[in-house]
Structure 1
Amino acid sequence: MANIRIRLFARMKAAFTLVVLSLVVCQAFAGFEQNIINDDDLILDQALVDSINSAQGSWKAEMSPRFQGVTVREVKALLGTDLSVESNLPVHSYDDVSDVPASFDATTQWPDFIHPIRNQEQCGSCWAFAASEVLSDRYGIATNGSENAVLSPESLVSCDKTDMGCQGGNLNNAWNFLRDTGITTDKCFPYTAGGGNAPACQSTCTDGSAMKLYKSADAYNLKSVADIQKDIMTNGPVEAGFTVYKSFMSYKSGVYTKHWYEFSALGGHAVKIVGWGTEDKTDYWLIANSWGPTWGLEGFFKIKRGVNECGIESQVYAGHVSA
């Protein structure tokens, strides 16, 4: 009788294992099917959203209002960050990072100086938005509000000739431009490249008044998680570049991680890291995007921290405010 029970248990265990493996294989095939990306397809996929939400992972998906009716080709045009160029900027590090807290949020630490979520629209200017927003916030923080203007991403898009305007840019080049030349305020040179074409560079403000330029005193690269954290809590947000996959456009809430079956990258994107924390035992970065407030967490998102998820920790840049 004991032997019969043992054999019966073994068969049940084998059957259960087969069912689990079948489910995994089915999910994998579904993932591979969803990973076949054609430029003329719509970027939002209800089947992918349902698959993500049923998996009970660390994040939730939705048919985001920001990308309703938008094609893969149009999304690729937004992802204007060139991640292929190695930084030639110095690496900035800290001798003591022992005071880095478990969580930090620049939007609550400096609520008057972290500027609102913006929208790059249909121009591949994410590299310019994130860079100008970081410098804007850092000016407000460093001067305690005496210099708290929103700085102009258009200055970078139109005037930084080492980059390619709406066709993309490199974070290393952008920070060299902020250090060597500087940018003006958004009021002086408003953003009008949202349709995909950048206007000519201006030497005076749109209203004809003299243009004041805001520069970074230096430009540097941050390499470790602890140094990124220390720099944010000391000086303000930083700019980061990372690789985007199809599922990211469907992000709604939680801590984003790409799916293991996502092999086809859509492009590089630049964003502003404003803090970090832990949600349901998963460490994350808190990040401001430039896709308007209807996407994600009212324009923000969380992405897994400490494992270089999608390369988010490999290209991080900032600079100190020029006196």
Structure 2
Amino acid sequence: MNISIYTLIYQLITFSANFIQQEQQFRQFIKVYNKNYTFNSSEYWHRFTIFQRSIEKIKNLNNQRKHPNSALFGLTPFTDLTLTEFKSKVIKTIGKRYKQRNDVTGSKRLLLSSSQYNGNNLTNQDDGDLSMDKIIKTLPPQVDWRSKGIIGNVIAQGKCGSCWAHTVTETISSMVALETNKFTRLSAQQLLDCSDNNYGCNGGDLCEALNWIVKNNVTLLKETDYPLRLDSGQCRQPNITNGVQIESNFTCHRQTGHEENMLQLIANHGPLMAAADASIWQHYVNGTIHENCGQDANHAVQIVGYNLQDDIPYYIARNTWGTNWGMDGYLQIAIGNNTCDITAEVSAVWIKSID
């Protein structure tokens, strides 16, 4: 009888200590991420309960790490959200639309002509017999377009589900910078307001955005000429003719089973835009995600490089959740196994004109 009483007392003391520690963590979390929760309010305790559950999920994810370079999970700006809230408030992108892309696995389509690479050796899919390992041997072991000064600062999309618009305009901006040696940010707000085959701040689709640009012969304006508001509004037509147009032969395909195409494009062409399943990214801090990631693309990122020399080879992805998330706004996604459905919809663009 005495043993059970002592055990009960020990459990109560342990529970109290854990509760106090977690609440202290929560208060620090509120301060760091500037959350507006009044102490002892119903909202405060509601969010604290979600925070506690998130802590347990983070522990479970970290306990499953199989390598020192595996993704590490921890506190992020989204630790006080349920997964349902995270998907509806942060991701927002209408992911089901990505599933409508034709799967080009095994197709004989030539993605890009070798002439577009100024003599670089791009593998023709018609050759078909080259394995990913053989192709990788022809590529630079590491590529990081950030080092070339053609990647813009990380954007914080806030409550606007604008990842698709930012990913499109940032990638086009990067391709312009590759030609001009100067990065100038193009207007994501123009797409949010004017791309009528998407849903503004409620989400969108990379291919649909590119189709809209090409079919309507759209000139993309500089952000200074069409400023970012991070909401969806009426399409404006500034009296400005200077801007950028893209070629109609952009690529936008599912690359499942053909990640060598993605690597070749990154190495020999430039940054890509890609859809991905970001559900597990809620608690991501650093390292390479290579497991426990979903297969239902619901977000969009810019792929700015890769590293084939790491123990876990990875893509370098630029996100749109600000620099206080992930690795200063970036994350690493494992290469070769369609991790996070990263091959669901992959796009590359070419510049037609710059005025």
Alignment TM-score > 0.5, same fold: yes
Aligned mate of 2:331, from 276, 295, 301: 301
Is 2:211 the counterpart of 1:172? no
C-alpha distance in structure 2 between counterparts of 1:311 and 1:167, whole Å: 21
Name the amino acid aligned to 1:221: C
2:252 maps to 1:221: yes
Residue 73 of structure 1 corresponds to 85
2:59 and 2:309 map into 1 onto residues whose CA distance is 22
Supply the distance in 1 between the matched residues of 2:141 and 2:152 (Cα, whole angstroms). Answer: 24
User: What CA distance in whole angstroms lies between the structure 2 residues aligned with 1:88 and 1:198?
Assistant: 32
Aligned to 2:317: 287
User: The residue matched to 2:352 in structure 1 has which SS?
Assistant: coil
Q: Residue in 1 aligned with 2:58? A: 49
Cα deviation for residue 314 of structure 1 reads 2.9
Is the contact between residue 87 and residue 172 of structure 1 (CA under 8 Å) also seen in structure 2?
no
Q: 3-state SS of the aligned residue for 1:239?
A: strand
Give the aligned partner of residue 225 of structure 2: 188
Which is worse superposed, 80-89 or 302-311? Answer: 80-89
> Is residue 92 from structure 1 mapped to residue 101 from structure 2 by the alignment?
no
User: By how many angstroms is 1:88 displaced?
Assistant: 10
> Shift of the alpha carbon at 1:225?
1.9
Instruction: Map Cα deviations across residues 202-221 of structure 1 (whole Å, 9 max, x no partner).
Output: 101xxxx5253322113213
Residues 279 and 54 of structure 1: is their aligned pair in 2 closer, same or farther, counting only changes over 3 Å?
A: farther
Q: Distance in 2 between matches of 1:91 and 1:252?
A: 38
Name the structure 2 match of 1:161.
196
Which residue of the other structure, out of 93, 103, 112, is the alignment partner of 2:142? 103
- Show the 5 A alignment for 1:132-147: 132-145=169-182
Change (3 A) 1:149 1:88: farther
The answer as to whether partners of 2:316 and 2:332 remain within 8 angstroms in 1 is yes
CA-based RMSD of the aligned residues comes to: 2.6
In 1: Cα distance, 2:288 partner to 2:224 partner: 35
Q: Deviations over 1:238-274 (max 9, x none)?
A: 10001232x32111111113427x68x6x60000001
Matched, 1:151 2:186: yes
Give the aligned partner of residue 266 of structure 2.
232
Q: Is the 8 A contact 1:242 1:269 kept in 2?
A: yes
Structure 1-normalised TM-score? 0.75
Whole-Å separation in 2 of the counterparts to 1:227 and 1:54 = 34
Distance in 2 between residues matched to 1:87 and 1:192, nearest whole Å: 34
Question: Identity of paired residues, percent?
Answer: 22
Q: Distance in 2 between matches of 1:159 and 1:78?
A: 22
* C-alpha contact (below 8 Å) 2:305/2:317 kept by paired residues: yes
How much does 1:74 deviate? 4.6
Query: 1:307: Cα distance to partner?
Result: 0.7
Distance across 2 between alignment mates of 1:47 and 1:279: 33
Match of 2:17 in 1: none
Distance 1:100 1:138 in 2: 20
For the residues of structure 1 that align with 2:233 and 2:340, how far apart are their CA atoms? 32
- After TM superposition, the structure 1 stretch with the greater mean CA deviation from structure 2, 250-259 or 273-282, is 273-282
Letter in 2 for 1:158: D
CA gap of 1:211–1:274, structure 2 versus 1, over 3 A, is: same
| 1:197-212 matched pairs, under 5 angstroms | 197-204=231-238, 210-212=240-242
Deviations 1:9-38 (A, max 9, x none): xxxxxxxxxxxxxxxxxxxxxxxxxxxxxx
Q: Does structure 1 residue 272 correspond to structure 2 residue 306? A: no
Kept in 1: contact 2:247–2:350 (CA 8 A): yes
Q: Quickly say closer, same or farther: Cα 1:74–1:54, change in 2 above 3 A.
A: closer
TM-score by length of 2: 0.69
